[in-house]
Amino acid sequence: MPTLISKLLSTCPPAVRGFSASLLLILWLHPFTGAGATDSMRESPVVRAVRKASPAVVNISSAYETRTRPNPFSGFGFGNPFFEEFFKDFFDPGFEQRRQNASLGSGVIIDGERGLILTNAHVIQRSGTITVVLEDRREFEARLVGADPDSDLAVLRIDSREKLPAIAMGQSEDLMIGETVIAIGNPFGFSHTVTTGVVSAVHRSIRADDRVLHDFIQIDASINPGNSGGPLLNINGELVGINTAIYAKAQGIGFAIPISKAKKIVASLIQYGEVQPAWIGIVAQELDERLAQYLKYPNRKGAMIRAVEPESPAQAAGLKEGDVLLAVGTRKIAELDDYLAATRAVTAGETLELQVWRAGRTLTAGIKTRLYPVENADQLAWNLLGVRVQDLSPKNRKEFRIAAREGVVIFELKAGSHLARIGARPGDLLRQVDDSGVGNLEDFRKAVIKSRLKSSVVLLVQRGEQGYYVTVSL
């Protein structure tokens, strides 16, 4: 190196030879100065955001067991369901095959003091044991605080003697189309995976399996199942969404649940273990051209209040049948789905500001939501389904010869109701309302309240040992 420096100096004019010698000597004695400067230049806002948030990103693995009974006659033409049932009843239950399965996903610590972790509900939906692995390789067994399949969110809790690193909370209300976002996951428990992209759309609705999910952030980076449940960050490293792998057909497209929506659901899950649906008291319908002409509403599209429930928050706020819904907060209502999406994540106790059109004027109403009164559920079931039910008891089991241990018993049917017309009768059991299982009267009341604003519900009706799925229009 000294020989090289001498050769370089010999080419310099005498006037700058002394300065050049000092500079070259410094660079020779400090060879890492240039590398350090390069690292600093390479440290982009994305790198800083990932470094800030990474300690709060966790791996989640859940173990569950499935049991199957292999049919030795399956290759000999005995595919009839009758033979399947015969085989199931005839052979010893010990003949079952048991298989251990595991699902992997990600999560993010939202409260380091209490050890609360936010993830997707589908990551832990069939779980037995839930294990959480932190970035520093520490492992914890987690407890489920609460889950809401409708929003695909779940909250877990882990116990640690030390305060855990938590994510910085951002907000999703002001996300800009084209804004840079960062998705982080920990699919295998070894290291984080990071993808970047931009916000492609907000308030996006997508169809997944047999249902439509609303109000998602769409980004131009795909989310794989292992990254599902991890955080979506803004450029400041703040949490603005929860990544979710719910759209199997996505190619280079990802979706995230906005954190503004998630915060409300998380608060309800922590307090109650489930989402308590808010009672607004509005039954809305699509506004078609005929109705618009009748109301003399100039825009010809939107959503209209079809009915206001008695003694509801909407009635207290002065809303009326025939009012046209214009906005919920800052969200404009162009069709019925807009209203449903805007109110779907509303929890009891919130105040909503609604704008409505009535007889040529725009009115604003503040609605203080609350829980639907459970004591009204029995009358609601009579009005919507045309049934009165009761818990199973020794008396009705004997009267109707019921062997089942779960469900509610129909003891009265409204004349002319759908169930009455298809042949339902007292003594039949109701075992399920949509996706909510019914074990007792309390379950039934909750399920009816939850489904009251739908256009139809699917009931599982049981008579004897036979079960029938029935769709009832509301």
In this structure, are residues 266 and 283 in contact, taking their beta carbons and an 8 Å threshold? no
State how far the Cα of 381 lies from the Cα of 443, in Å rounded to an integer: 13
CATH fold of the domain at 278-371: Pdz3 Domain (2.30.42)
Q: List the catalytic residues.
A: 122, 152, 228
Compute the residue count for the chain.
Answer: 474
* Strand ranges in 259-360 using DSSP code E only, listed in sequence order: 278-279, 282-287, 302-308, 324-328, 331-332, 351-358
> pLDDT tens for residues 365-413?
999 999 899 999 999 999 999 999 999 999 999 999 999 999 999 999 9
CA 378 to chain centre: 29
CATH 1.10.287.1770 matches 44-68+99-273: no
- Is it true that 278-371 and 374-473 share their CATH fold? yes
Q: What whole-number distance in Å separates Cα of residue 34 and Cα of residue 263? A: 46
Cα–Cα distance measured from residue 10 to residue 17, given in angstroms and rounded to the nearest whole number: 8
- 34-51 pLDDT, tens digit each: 555 566 778 899 999 999
> HEC string of 131-168?
EEECCCCCEEEEEEEEEECCCCEEEEECCCCCCCCCCE
The owner of tokens 């190196």 is: 1
- What is the average per-residue pLDDT within 320-348? 88
pLDDT value at residue 6: 55
pLDDT beyond 90 at 89: no
In angstroms, the CA 201 to CA 255 distance is 10
Q: Could you tell me which of 202, 278, 275, 213 has the C-alpha nearest to residue 240?
A: 202
Annotated domain spans of the chain: 2-42, 44-68+99-273, 278-371, 374-473
Q: For 195-221, what is each residue's pLDDT tens digit?
A: 999 999 998 877 766 566 778 999 998
Could you tell me the pLDDT band of residue 343, with boundaries at 50, 70 and 90? confident
pTM of this structure: 0.71
Residue that has been written with the tokens 């339902």 in this structure: 424
Which residues lie across from 462 on neighbouring strands?
A: 429, 467
**The CATH number of the domain covering residues in 374-473:** 2.30.42.10
Helix or strand (DSSP H, E) at 272: helix 259-272
User: pLDDT at position 50, please?
Assistant: 95
**CA 439/CA 444 separation, integer angstroms:** 8
Residue 448's alpha-carbon distances to 148, 212, 277, 454, in angstroms, are: 17, 20, 12, 10
| H-assigned helices in 118-202 | 121-124
